Amino acid sequence: MREAEIKHSRLAMLAVVGWPLAELFDKKIAAVFGLPSALTSTGESPSLLNGGLDKIDPEYWIIVLSIAGLAELESNSAQAEKENKYVPGDCNFDPLQLFPEKKNEQFEMQTKEIKHGRVAMMALLGFVVQEALYNSPVTDETPFFFSPIWS
């Protein structure tokens, strides 16, 4: 269960950053590449409650599922390779060598990851509910988080 929570925490932390970044930069990036914006008509990120998921190409979902599958395969191979030395959530990917070597420090790092992930999961829930209720982007509802202080 710890491994599942670590993986979901990591996804939630990425999503909590990606959601507002998409709302802030999607139109600009789409314009540079000559693509249509993936945001809803009111500028919200596509989601089940906001709609707009029909604008996302099926190729995108195939790529996302392929990457997730590759990560799971790598996790399984790491588990088979390391056997008793395997650490939950290890996907053989730590290019910056941030994961500690000592067992107690690893456990502490994972606990922090899980706690931050739980906060990120609640933040995502807040994004979804806020956009569904107010029908406006998170970045518009809370501009003090997403615009410079001097503006």
All structural domains of the chain: 2-146 (1.10.3460)
Q: Burial letters for 34-51: b for 16+ Cβ neighbours within 10 Å, e otherwise? A: eeebbbbeebbbbbeebe
Cβ atoms 131, 24 nearer than 8 A: no
**Mean pLDDT rounded to a whole number for the chain:** 87
pLDDT at residue 126 above 80? Answer: yes
DSSP category for residue 148: -
Using CA atoms, how far apart are residues 14 and 143, in angstroms rounded to an integer? 20
Local confidence band at 62 (pLDDT 50, 70, 90 cut-offs) = very high
Better-predicted residue by pLDDT, 137 or 55: 137
Q: CB–CB of 142/133 below 8 Å? A: no
User: Residue 102 — φ and ψ, nearest 5°?
Assistant: -75, 140
Rounded to two decimals, what is the model's pTM? 0.80
Amino acid 1: pLDDT: 84
| Interval 8-30: pLDDT, tens | 998 999 999 999 999 999 999 99
Tell whether the model's pLDDT for residue 118 goes beyond 90. Answer: yes
Percent of the chain with pLDDT over 90: 36
Could you give phi then psi for residue 47, rounded to 5 degrees?
-155, 175
What local confidence, expressed as pLDDT, does residue 97 receive? 83
